[in-house]
Amino acid sequence: MNKDIDNIKGKGVYCLVLRNTACSIDVGSLGKVDFRSGYHFYVGSDLGQGGFKRLKRHVRVSRSKKVSRLHWHIDYLLTSPSFELVSVIYAATPLRLECLLAGGIGGESIPGFGCSDCSCKSHLFYCSSWPETEVMEAFSGCCLQAFLMQLSENE
Protein backbone atom coordinates (compact mmCIF):
# COMPACT_ATOMS: atom_id res chain seq x y z
CA MET A 1 0.00 0.00 0.00
CA ASN A 2 1.10 3.54 -0.69
CA LYS A 3 2.53 5.09 2.46
CA ASP A 4 2.57 8.61 1.04
CA ILE A 5 -0.06 10.42 3.06
CA ASP A 6 0.13 13.41 0.70
CA ASN A 7 -1.75 11.41 -1.95
CA ILE A 8 -4.95 11.52 0.11
CA LYS A 9 -7.35 14.01 -1.44
CA GLY A 10 -10.66 15.53 -0.41
CA LYS A 11 -12.11 15.98 3.06
CA GLY A 12 -13.80 13.62 5.46
CA VAL A 13 -13.37 11.50 8.58
CA TYR A 14 -10.48 9.37 9.73
CA CYS A 15 -9.27 6.97 12.38
CA LEU A 16 -5.68 6.86 13.59
CA VAL A 17 -4.63 3.43 14.85
CA LEU A 18 -1.78 3.56 17.36
CA ARG A 19 0.13 0.72 19.02
CA ASN A 20 1.63 1.41 22.41
CA THR A 21 3.37 0.07 25.45
CA ALA A 22 1.87 0.66 28.89
CA CYS A 23 2.53 4.21 30.03
CA SER A 24 1.19 7.29 31.80
CA ILE A 25 1.08 10.57 29.91
CA ASP A 26 0.04 14.05 30.95
CA VAL A 27 -2.60 14.93 28.33
CA GLY A 28 -3.12 18.66 28.75
CA SER A 29 -6.49 19.49 30.28
CA LEU A 30 -7.22 15.79 30.96
CA GLY A 31 -4.23 15.51 33.28
CA LYS A 32 -2.32 12.25 33.74
CA VAL A 33 -3.86 9.37 31.79
CA ASP A 34 -2.81 5.74 32.20
CA PHE A 35 -2.67 3.76 28.94
CA ARG A 36 -2.60 -0.04 28.83
CA SER A 37 -0.40 -1.82 26.33
CA GLY A 38 -2.18 -2.56 23.07
CA TYR A 39 -3.93 -0.44 20.47
CA HIS A 40 -5.66 2.91 20.73
CA PHE A 41 -7.69 4.32 17.89
CA TYR A 42 -8.65 7.95 17.56
CA VAL A 43 -11.53 9.30 15.45
CA GLY A 44 -11.22 12.73 13.86
CA SER A 45 -12.50 14.80 10.96
CA ASP A 46 -11.10 17.13 8.34
CA LEU A 47 -13.94 19.07 6.75
CA GLY A 48 -12.27 22.43 6.11
CA GLN A 49 -11.05 23.88 2.83
CA GLY A 50 -7.65 22.25 3.28
CA GLY A 51 -9.18 18.79 3.07
CA PHE A 52 -7.24 16.12 4.93
CA LYS A 53 -4.68 18.72 6.09
CA ARG A 54 -5.11 17.84 9.79
CA LEU A 55 -4.74 14.12 9.08
CA LYS A 56 -1.53 14.79 7.15
CA ARG A 57 -0.25 16.89 10.06
CA HIS A 58 -0.97 14.03 12.49
CA VAL A 59 1.09 11.64 10.37
CA ARG A 60 4.00 14.10 10.08
CA VAL A 61 3.97 14.70 13.85
CA SER A 62 3.94 10.95 14.55
CA ARG A 63 6.92 10.41 12.24
CA SER A 64 9.02 13.27 13.64
CA LYS A 65 7.74 13.08 17.24
CA LYS A 66 7.99 16.87 17.20
CA VAL A 67 5.46 19.68 17.09
CA SER A 68 5.89 23.37 17.82
CA ARG A 69 2.82 23.41 20.07
CA LEU A 70 0.73 20.59 21.51
CA HIS A 71 -2.68 21.66 20.23
CA TRP A 72 -4.99 18.62 20.37
CA HIS A 73 -5.19 15.76 22.86
CA ILE A 74 -3.92 13.40 20.15
CA ASP A 75 -0.68 15.42 19.87
CA TYR A 76 0.35 14.11 23.29
CA LEU A 77 0.18 10.52 22.02
CA LEU A 78 1.69 11.22 18.61
CA THR A 79 4.78 12.80 20.19
CA SER A 80 5.18 10.11 22.86
CA PRO A 81 7.89 7.47 22.33
CA SER A 82 5.44 4.94 23.83
CA PHE A 83 3.03 5.30 20.88
CA GLU A 84 3.50 4.37 17.21
CA LEU A 85 1.00 5.32 14.51
CA VAL A 86 0.56 2.05 12.61
CA SER A 87 -2.42 2.75 10.32
CA VAL A 88 -4.76 5.40 9.05
CA ILE A 89 -8.29 4.58 7.96
CA TYR A 90 -10.14 7.38 6.20
CA ALA A 91 -13.21 8.11 4.11
CA ALA A 92 -14.10 11.08 1.97
CA THR A 93 -17.36 12.79 2.95
CA PRO A 94 -18.61 16.36 3.26
CA LEU A 95 -20.84 15.29 6.17
CA ARG A 96 -20.07 15.72 9.86
CA LEU A 97 -19.93 12.01 10.72
CA GLU A 98 -17.08 12.05 13.24
CA CYS A 99 -19.35 11.59 16.28
CA LEU A 100 -21.47 8.94 14.58
CA LEU A 101 -18.31 7.06 13.63
CA ALA A 102 -16.91 7.35 17.17
CA GLY A 103 -20.21 6.04 18.54
CA GLY A 104 -20.05 3.04 16.22
CA ILE A 105 -16.61 1.90 17.32
CA GLY A 106 -16.39 -0.67 20.06
CA GLY A 107 -13.71 -0.95 22.64
CA GLU A 108 -13.07 0.76 25.91
CA SER A 109 -13.19 4.55 25.67
CA ILE A 110 -10.76 6.98 27.25
CA PRO A 111 -13.20 9.50 28.84
CA GLY A 112 -13.05 13.05 27.54
CA PHE A 113 -10.30 12.40 25.00
CA GLY A 114 -10.60 14.36 21.76
CA CYS A 115 -14.21 15.40 22.27
CA SER A 116 -14.04 18.82 23.90
CA ASP A 117 -16.08 20.32 21.05
CA CYS A 118 -18.97 17.81 21.13
CA SER A 119 -21.07 15.80 23.58
CA CYS A 120 -19.44 12.42 22.89
CA LYS A 121 -18.00 10.38 25.74
CA SER A 122 -14.71 9.99 23.86
CA HIS A 123 -13.02 9.90 20.47
CA LEU A 124 -10.21 7.59 21.68
CA PHE A 125 -10.71 3.88 22.24
CA TYR A 126 -8.62 0.98 23.51
CA CYS A 127 -8.40 -2.58 22.23
CA SER A 128 -5.87 -5.23 23.28
CA SER A 129 -5.49 -6.54 19.71
CA TRP A 130 -5.40 -5.06 16.21
CA PRO A 131 -8.87 -3.44 15.73
CA GLU A 132 -9.00 -3.26 11.91
CA THR A 133 -12.24 -5.25 11.50
CA GLU A 134 -14.13 -3.27 14.14
CA VAL A 135 -13.02 0.07 12.72
CA MET A 136 -13.81 -0.88 9.12
CA GLU A 137 -17.26 -2.08 10.22
CA ALA A 138 -17.89 1.25 11.96
CA PHE A 139 -17.11 3.09 8.71
CA SER A 140 -19.47 0.75 6.83
CA GLY A 141 -22.15 1.38 9.46
CA CYS A 142 -21.92 5.08 8.58
CA CYS A 143 -22.30 4.23 4.85
CA LEU A 144 -18.71 5.28 4.19
CA GLN A 145 -16.21 3.65 1.85
CA ALA A 146 -13.09 3.43 4.00
CA PHE A 147 -9.50 3.23 2.81
CA LEU A 148 -6.72 1.71 4.91
CA MET A 149 -3.16 3.01 4.78
CA GLN A 150 -0.63 0.88 6.65
CA LEU A 151 2.19 2.93 8.11
CA SER A 152 3.98 0.12 9.95
CA GLU A 153 5.44 -3.02 8.44
CA ASN A 154 4.35 -5.02 11.50
CA GLU A 155 0.61 -4.82 10.85
Mapped onto helix, strand or coil, the DSSP state of residue 100 is helix
Determine the Cα–Cα distance for residues 17 and 47; give it in Å rounded to an integer. Answer: 20
3-state SS track over 70-81: CCCHHHHHHCCC
What's the pLDDT band for 155 if we cut at 50, 70, 90? low
What's the pLDDT band for 27 if we cut at 50, 70, 90? very high
What's the pLDDT band for 4 if we cut at 50, 70, 90? confident
Q: What is the pTM of this model?
A: 0.93
What's the pLDDT band for 1 if we cut at 50, 70, 90? very low
- Note the pLDDT of residue 154: 67
